[in-house]
């Protein structure tokens, strides 16, 4: 069975502290995301002012269950989201076709 990737690109709000944003992301990962069934990893990527989250799960079902569980955001999730310009988000779900 192929892994699934949740990919979302976004921009931070003007004036947002990158250091505080990364601390909020780490707290969210440690307290919620990494505890989800099928979680493999979460990478945060940056290119200038564009950020991207690249979260890998064992299966697409695991990814969909994570998304469903995320619909009721916790305090840690709301803290993380408070740094993001939500209008800039572009979300994709991928199946890993091949790894080298």
Quick: pLDDT tens for 48-78: 999 999 999 999 999 999 999 999 999 999 9
Residue 53's Cβ-count burial label (10 Å; 0-12, 13-18, 19+) is buried
pLDDT at 78: 97
Its pTM surpasses 0.95? no
Q: Flag whether 39 is in a domain.
A: yes
* Domain hosting residue 18, numbered range: 4-95
Q: Flag whether 100 is in a domain.
A: no
Residue 73's Cβ-count burial label (10 Å; 0-12, 13-18, 19+) is middle
Instruction: Tell me the CATH number at 36.
Output: 3.30.70.100
- Angle, alpha carbons 34-25-37 (nearest 5°): 15
Q: Flag whether 76 is in a domain.
A: yes
Q: Flag whether 36 is in a domain.
A: yes
Q: How many domains does the chain have?
A: 1
């Amino acid at each position: 069975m192929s892994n699934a990737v949740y990919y979302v690109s976004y921009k931070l709000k003007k004036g947002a502290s990158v250091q505080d944003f990364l601390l909020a992301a780490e707290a969210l990962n440690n307290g919620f995301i990494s505890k989800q069934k099928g979680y493999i990893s979460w990478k945060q990527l940056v290119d200038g002012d564009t950020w991207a989250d690249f979260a890998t799960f064992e299966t697409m079902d695991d990814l969909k269950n994570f998304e469903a569980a995320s619909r009721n955001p916790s305090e840690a999730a709301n803290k993380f989201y408070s740094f993001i310009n939500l209008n800039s988000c572009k979300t994709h779900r991928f199946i890993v076709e091949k790894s080298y």
